Amino acid sequence: MKFSELNQQDLRAAKRLLENPGLAAKLTDTIGSPIEKGFEMLPASWNQGLNKVTQTALTSASDAAIFTMKDVPGEKSSNLWHKLGVAVSGGVGGYFGVAAMAVELPVSTTIILRSIADIARSEGESIADPETQMSCLEVFAFGGASPDDDGTETGYFAVRSALAKSITDAAEYVVRKKTVDSSAPVLVKLVAKIAERFGVQVTQKAAAQAIPAIGAAGGAIVNTLFIDHFQDMARGHFTVRRLEKVHGEKKVRKLYDAITFED
């Protein structure tokens, strides 16, 4: 099938979203203060507990029956309602500060994951498909580099390649067991890999909320930008997947790599 001009526009829009996440820049622009100041204010033990916090948040989200929404591929996503929900939880977190992150993050992550699934559905995905469910979790890995990255593994397709086997193994497990059991070794492994990258954005969010006087209103704004980032990643990801299902992965990848931006 011919790759139409509309398809090309969709792919271009997807690449712009996926390769230009800029969460830290958005936070800085909105708060009016470099979030580097917030990094200095995070507890000394922050990095030690980060992986546990992010894994707990992702596990809680996958356990929260977020895929029980009606399976109507193509239905328009409700981005605004999910943003409002995350803003409320962010307001509570902002009021109590970074200390509330362990409680607030699982709530925010669950709402964000539901929004990601909603976007996947709007791009024609079946939420009942375990492979789609795992691909929704995968979105949390986009837009941030793992500490172990060597500089060549941060691009969209590089991250997908790094997670491909874990995604397949987890999806096959869910098909066999007919349930998403987050304690299963294959799912624990997948969540751990995603958590390494998700932690980058979580740290940026925490740093922004650590800035003095940000308060409840600031916490709501930070969380709104947080979900906005992952909604962008989800839109780009599932747009690419939609095009791959029609034109094949190799062709879409070739055209994706050929896209450049002058601005």
Token reading at 129: 């498909």
pTM of the model: 0.85
The pLDDT value recorded for residue 214 is 58
CA distance 250 to 143: 22
Ranges of the chain whose pLDDT falls below 50: 93-95, 151-152
The pLDDT value recorded for residue 95 is 45
Structural domain span for residue 57: 5-126+205-258
92 is a domain residue: yes
181 is a domain residue: no
Amino acid at residue number 154 = T
Number of residues that this document lists for the chain: 263
Q: How does DSSP assign the chain, residue by residue?
A: ----HHHHHHHHHHHHHHH---HHHHHHHHHTS-THHHHHHS-TTHHHHHHHHHHHHHHHHHTS-GGGS---TTPPP-HHHHHHHHHHHHHHHHHH-GGGHHHHHHHHHHHHHHHHHHHHHHTT--TTSHHHHHHHHHGGGTTS--TT--SSS-SHHHHHHHHHHHHHHHHHHHHHHTS--TTSHHHHHHHHHHHHHHHHHHHHHHHHHHSTT-HHHHHHHHHHHHHHHHHHHHHHHHHHHHHHHHH-HHHHHHHHHH-----
CA distance 98 to 101: 5
Each residue's pLDDT tens digit, 171-230: 998 888 766 667 788 999 999 999 999 998 888 888 877 776 555 556 677 888 888 899
CA distance 110 to 223: 13
218 is a domain residue: yes
250 is a domain residue: yes
Domains contained in the chain, number = 1
76 is a domain residue: yes
182 is a domain residue: no
197 is a domain residue: no
The pLDDT value recorded for residue 36 is 77
Token reading at 227: 């979900």
164 is a domain residue: no
